[in-house]
Structure 1
């Protein structure tokens, strides 16, 4: 009986030691994600982005949600404002990041009755993204099918029109709102021939003047390019970056490719917008981060002389900011070399 109890205690003791060793290993692994230079406290300043903050503390910014601790005393701790303080702490042996915010006390006077609304920091550089969001969109199927109307002629028979000109469109357009004039650009197609979507570029904006039957006259309010016959009239989009857009890795193992660069540029660098062949139907969401990998060099096997492709090399990271059904717009956040259309994208390591 004594020997059996001794063996039982030895087994339990070994199991506990194993669990403790595992926990220590997990904690050590978690701390390896934190930069040696990470500050214990950091006060957010105007111009910071969420990606900047994550990179200040972590080697891989997409691990941010795993270390982020919400504060129940703050209405929405995911919104971070200039003046907020980010603290790096030890939470039961693992690193964690938390937020503290001073409550502003405002003394009202007859001369001051309102408090200016503070703007939360952007997930990524809004100055790069917002103009792009206004002027680019992806549609499924034939772009003409979803258009309100199409341009049939300029004033006095002109073939092209610009800001201040009148033009004529065929279709049904609303009378009380400004409209967008778009032109189909890139048609994205998968390797197997599946249509992924067509990119539309905004040419300008116009407003309703008058109509007879299905022919309406519009005044061009602004134009980035000349408006031409057959350009499409669509409702304007007013997209904005989601406040909930947090850099994070997709839950599933996904792989795809860079399939385009709006504007037709071939070589790609940091802070350039790209299109990838993964979308919401694949589970992609705004804020998802992907690694960019380039195909390895092809060499000759020294024994067989057969061609041999070396393993792919990590070349950068990108973050999705506007996903559509089958494609997504993303911003290149890091690039260690010149990127190209055709480079691979994949879920980053955990």
Structure 2
């Protein structure tokens, strides 16, 4: 196994964040301390201490010696305390005997920890979003219509698989030596204006360019489904993605809607992946957290003097989501909490 030595001077595990711009809502039933177990996520651990788990970076005391605040491991112990009336979380690594005075102030000293990084506690279950990090993409209509497309297969093949060659129109001046084959998926439409915001480009296969031209010849190196004539190609993108997130509220007021569920379910629950109709151009960034509101029902008022009078009930807080991939006008988000069933067209907004 590959191990890495992590040299840590721990006063308390933390992210340095200037100022206190948000009111910290402490979970009234929080424990004084919690020992991490395998299978925990940082979000779940924070929820034991806070009403809003995404506020956890605000109460880790700053420590510039720590490059990665996510390096928490099973058997580590998290402590809750208040300093100058403000809540704080601190950490004692497993096997370390700290001095817990009557104030529960944890005194920690320089030491070496040698741990397998893959064992560190994650903020969210990475397996829930892994397949959505590099693909599918969100593209404009022109991006697909103007892209090269598969016109035929080499040999006698009716479908192409890894190791087979495909003919593509037209790659005469290659932008890359590797191309990804996509197929048009869902159309993303604004819930309010009904404007088309983008199209889902669903991953089909990876290819390498063998011979440019019209047609060009490409070798299929990996595929997840059969390749069809007419499938479109775009230069392969190496995604700059991370599974280490710093959740926080957007700096601007966001009002949007859930417009699609990426895994095809009808009722949305915890850890489902959804698309929302707001993106980078609206001020959203990876790590931004939004509240989800279930639209209130329209009910008839039988006591009103107005015939067939109806009234709109208020929207109800239904859960929380976190953006993990942001495009220009669309974002993919993971539902972190679901108090009740969530549906497409439910509202999302800045907490």
Q: What TM-score does the superposition give when structure 1 sets the normalisation length?
A: 0.77
Aligned-pair CA distance for 1:43: 4.3
Task: Please give the secondary structure, in 2, of the residue aligned with 1:214.
Answer: coil
Distance 1:339 1:150 in 2: 38
C-alpha distance in structure 1 between counterparts of 2:88 and 2:156, whole Å = 66
For 1:165 and 1:127, the matched residues in 2 are separated by 30
Displacement of 1:171 after TM fit? Answer: 3.1
| Residues 1:283 and 2:253 aligned together | no
Aligned pairs for 1:1-350 (under 5 A) are: 33-72=25-64, 74-82=65-73, 85-99=77-91, 103-104=111-112, 117=117, 120-144=120-144, 147=147, 149-156=148-155, 160-172=159-171, 178-190=178-190, 191-208=192-209, 210-211=210-211, 213-239=213-239, 241-242=241-242, 245-301=245-301, 302-303=303-304, 304=306, 305-348=308-351
Cα 1:311/1:290, change in 2 over 3 Å: same
* Alpha-carbon shift at residue 104 of structure 1 (Å): 2.2
Deviation at 1:298, TM superposition (A): 1.5
Question: Which structure's residues are more often helix, by fraction?
Answer: 1
SS at match of 2:44: helix
Q: Structure 2 vs 1, CA of residues 140 and 121 (structure 1 numbering), >3 Å: closer, same or farther? A: farther
Alpha-carbon distance in 1 for matches of 2:267, 2:117: 40
Aligned partners of 2:169 and 2:119: how far apart in 1?
42
Cα 1:105–1:96 shift into 2, 3 Å = closer
- Of residues 267-276 and 243-252 in structure 1, the stretch that sits farther from structure 2 once superposed is 243-252
CA distance in 2 between counterparts of 1:105 and 1:134 reads: 33
> 1:59: Cα distance to partner?
1.5
**Does the CA contact (< 8 Å) of 1:257 and 1:342 recur in 2?**
yes
Whole-Å Cα distance in 2 between the matches of residues 116 and 51 of structure 1?
Answer: 21
The Cα shift of 1:319 comes to: 1.1
**Residues 297/175 of structure 1: CA separation in 2 closer, same or farther (3 Å cut):** closer
Deviations 1:251-297 (A, max 9, x none): 32211101111254333222111000011111111111111111212
Cα contact 2:246–2:287 (8 A) shared by 1? yes
What TM-score results when the alignment is normalised by the length of structure 2?
A: 0.77
Tell me if the contact between 1:51 and 1:124 (Cα under 8 Å) persists in the aligned partners.
Answer: yes
Equivalent-residue separation in structure 1 for 2:145 and 2:72 (angstroms): 43
The Cα of 1:228 is off from its aligned counterpart by 0.9
- 1:143 offset after TM fit, Å? 2.4
Structure 1: give runs of 5+ residues left out of the alignment: 1-26, 107-114
SS of equivalent residue, structure 2 residue 131: helix
Do the aligned partners of 1:249 and 1:288 also contact (CA within 8 Å) in 2? yes
> Would the aligned equivalents of 1:159 and 1:229 in 2 still touch at CA under 8 Å?
no
Q: Are the counterparts in 1 of residues 152 and 166 from structure 2 also a CA contact under 8 Å?
A: yes
Contact 2:292/2:319 (8 A) holds in 1: yes
Alignment correspondent of 1:9: none
Relative to structure 1, the CA distance from residue 308 to residue 145 in structure 2 (aligned partners, 3 Å threshold; closer, same or farther) is same
Q: Unaligned 5+ residue runs, structure 2?
A: 1-19, 97-110
Other-structure match for 1:3: none
Aligned CA distance change for structure 1 residues 30 and 319 (closer, same or farther; 3 Å): closer
Tell me the CA shift for residue 138 of structure 1. Answer: 1.0
Decide which structure has the larger Cα Rg and report it: 1
Alignment-derived partner of residue 5 in structure 1:
none
